[in-house]
Structure 1
């Protein structure tokens, strides 16, 4: 049986470093959540301020990383727990992004709504990294909002 457990950013980033398919650790967070099978961590969620400055209104957070070892229902449990925690802290909206090649089933199972495409294929402008930090695909934004 899986259960939600407290998680430090250092612990969550270590899990992401070892298990995420296309992203590395993050620099900061508001909070992180772990998921345990009773013996080991099987997934983590790292929640922070929105990357998009247009969404950073003080009432919105973003699931910046979600990573599991593939355990059944782990992703949807973490997405649901992230929303419950954000709501308990007074936030009105929680957003996240998936790659266009991903289906979003775990997000829909946790009650999230698809709000459409977001962003571009890669970073642009002066701060663009020399090497892409993630696959060059369109992103799809999902969100939970206070009803």
Structure 2
């Protein structure tokens, strides 16, 4: 008689409200505050417990806000293997179902982007560090991510296949 190993506990995509997503991010994300708004959010759960969320909204960069592009503005997980890739894949499928043709997001320079590549996104641009959002006419508080180079990632309808 052979003993079979138990099946790995599966991650499952679930809908989450704006309130649920921002509460999860506020409780578990060390570097960023929750976004102020969004178009939609998705969650991932394991054994009925929420273990990650992603929020999707309009692109922050004005020149990329063309009514056919969305931006993943936050992902936050408890570190379960594959959770981030699963969230990015679900975001893209939902965006496509809503009629969007491109999804973008950013990583800080030096991050691998493995979960993005697993979901079918490709690195398309390296952005130099910005000095910050504050200007004399509109002073703003530093958010802790100014002065850090970033990489923009994207996926477009018809160009790539989502694997996650």
If the length of structure 1 is used for normalisation, what is the TM-score? 0.93
Larger radius of gyration: 2
* Deviation for aligned residue 1:116: 2.0
Once superposed, what is the RMSD of the aligned Cα atoms?
A: 1.5
Give the distance between the partners of 2:120 and 2:43, measured in 1 at CA. Answer: 20
1:4 and 2:47 aligned: no
Give 1:124 deviation, angstroms: 4.0
Unmatched 5+ residue regions in structure 2?
A: 1-9, 159-164
Q: Deviations over 1:11-42 (max 9, x none)?
A: 10111111113111111100000100022111
Q: Tell me the residue number matched to 1:146.
A: 157
How many residues are matched? 147
Of 115, 136, 158 in structure 2, the residue corresponding to residue 106 of structure 1 is 115
Contact kept? 1:22, 1:135, Cα under 8 Å: no
Give 1:13's aligned residue: 22
Q: Name the CA distance, whole Å, in 1 between partners of 2:70 and 2:58.
A: 5
Task: Tell me if 1:26 matches 2:35.
Answer: yes
Match of 2:63 among 54, 62, 67: 54
Contact 1:6 1:33 in 2 (8 A): yes
| Whole-Å separation in 2 of the counterparts to 1:124 and 1:7 | 30
Q: Is there any run of 5+ residues in structure 1 with no aligned partner, and where?
A: none
Structure 1 window deviating more from structure 2 (114-123 vs 41-50): it is 114-123
SS at match of 2:153: strand
Paired position in structure 1 for 2:161: none
Alpha-carbon contact 1:66-1:75 (below 8 Å) kept: yes
Counterpart contact for 2:129–2:146, Cα < 8 Å: no
Cα pair 1:44 1:68 within 8 Å, conserved: yes
Q: 2:141 aligns with which of 130, 138, 142?
A: 130
Q: Which runs of 4+ in 1 moved over 3 A?
A: none
Q: TM-score scaled to structure 2, two decimals?
A: 0.84
Match of 1:77?
A: 86
* Residue pair 1:122, 1:132 contacting (<8 A) in 2 also: no
